[in-house]
Structure 1
C-alpha cells in the first residue's frame, strides 16, 4: 500500500513540475512576442513629400474646394518666398487661401468670392498687429456700419491637419480633414434651433451667436480621412 501511495505522490510532483515548466515557457514566449512587436519600426509612407514648392502649395490648397470647381478656382496666399501673392488665377465663384508654409501643420481654406472683402479686412488688421479680439470687434462695428456684408449661408471650407506632407499623385495632405463654416450673421441658438456647443463630431452647432460672425460649425468625424 505504501508503494502505491509513494507512486501517486511521485507522479503528482512530476506533473506539477511539467506544468510549471510549461507556464514559464508560455510566459517567456509571450514576453518575447511583446518585445518583438514593440521593436518593429512603424511603417512610413514613402510616397509622401514635403510641401516645398509653389506648385505643391496650389495643389494641396485646391483640396479645400469642391472637386468639380477646383480647376477654375483662384488661389491666393504666401508663396515659398514668403510673399502674399496670387498663386493661381481663376474665374469661378471660389477663392482658395493656400497654406502658409512658414507655419507648422497645414491649413487651407476655400470660400465664396463675396466673402473676400471680409477676409481681406481680417488679413489687413492682422498685418497691422491687431489681436484676435481686436479684429473681431473692429469688423463687428464695420459690419454694423455697412462697410461690407457677409451673405447669409456663405460657406467656408477648411482643409487642415497637423502635418505638412502630401501625396503628389492625389494632392491629399497626410492626416488633413475638412470642416465647414456656414455664416449666418446675427443668428442665435433661438433663431436657428442649434446648440451653442458641439454635441458630437459631424454635428452642427452655432458659434459666435448674435454677432456679425455667427456661423454654423460642422466638424469632421474622428475617423474620417480626406
Structure 2
C-alpha cells in the first residue's frame, strides 16, 4: 500500500511538472532559433521574428529586413509548430491575431477578414505568397537548444481567389504529399503541400 501511495504521488508530481513545462516561456534566443527552423539558411540572419515576452505577451523578438516574418511556437499549445511567411501576408496574419485576441473563433475570423478583403480595407497579395510551417512533437523538442528532431514541413502558397479551374489543382489530395487547392475561389485560397 505504501508503494502504491508513493507511485501516485510521484506520477501526480510528474504530471504537474510536464504541464508546467508546456506553458513555460523560453528564452528569447531559443524562441528565435526555433522560429527560424523553416527558413532557408541564407535568410536566417535578417528575418523578423515574433514570440513571447516574460509576461506571455506576443511581441516582436527581433526586427528583420528579409522578405519573411516568422512566428515562434505558442507555449500553451500541444506540440511544436513554427511558421514563416511572406511579408506581403503580414496585414492578413496580423488581422487574424487581432481578431483572435478579441475572442473571435475561426469561422468569425474567416468571415470578418473575407468581408474586409472584399471591401478593400484589408490587403491580400495579388501574386502567390509563401508560408513555411515546421512542426513536431513536444517529446522531440529540446527546449535548451531550440532543436526539433523528426520535424515535418507543410508548405502553403496563398493565391487569393484561385480556383481549381484556374490552377488545374484538385480541391483534395489524391496521394501523400501532392499539392492541392484549399478554400478555392475565396480570399484565403491556398495551395497546400503536406509532408510525405
Fold shared by both chains (TM-score > 0.5): yes
Aligned residues: 171
Tell me which residue corresponds to 1:174.
149
TM-score when normalising by structure 1: 0.71
Pick aligned residue for 2:178 from 184, 203, 218:
203
Decide whether the 8 Å contact of 1:163 with 1:174 is kept in 2.
no
Superposed CA offset, 1:57-82 (max 9, x none): 11011012122101100101223531
Partner deviation per Cα, 1:159-214 (whole Å, 9 max, x = no partner)? 11122613866x43123211111011111111111111112222100000110000
The SS at the match of 1:198 is coil
Superposition CA RMSD, Å: 1.9
- Which residue in the other structure is 2:159 paired with? 184
Q: Deviations over 1:8-55 (max 9, x none)?
A: xxxxxxxxxxxxxxxxxxxxxxxxxxxxxxxxxxxxxxxxxx983222
Matched, 1:148 2:122: yes
Three-state SS of the structure 2 residue aligned to 1:141 is helix
Q: What is the aligned partner in structure 1 of residue 43 from structure 2?
A: 69
The structure having more radius of gyration, on CA atoms, is 1
Q: How is 1:23-38 mapped onto 2 (pairs within 5 angstroms)?
A: none
Structure 2 gaps, min length 5: 1-23
Instruction: Tell me the TM-score normalised to structure 2 length.
Output: 0.81
Q: Please point out which of 118, 127, 141 is paired with 2:92.
A: 118
2:72 is matched with 98
Higher normalized strand content (fraction of residues)? 2
Q: Is the 8 A contact 2:25 2:54 kept in 1?
A: no
Distance 1:202 1:59 in 2: 27
SS in 1 for 2:61: strand
**Aligned-partner Cα distance in 1 for 2:73–2:143:** 16
8 A contact 2:25–2:52 mirrored in 1: no
Query: Does the aligned pair in 2 maintain the 1:80–1:101 contact within 8 Å?
Result: no
Structure 1 stretch 124-133 or stretch 79-88: which is displaced more? 79-88
Q: Give the Cα–Cα distance (whole angstroms) in 2 for the partners of residues 166 and 60 of structure 1.
A: 10
The reply to whether residue 194 of structure 1 matches residue 169 of structure 2 is yes
Deviations 1:84-136 (A, max 9, x none): 11111211111111111122211111011111111000000011110101100
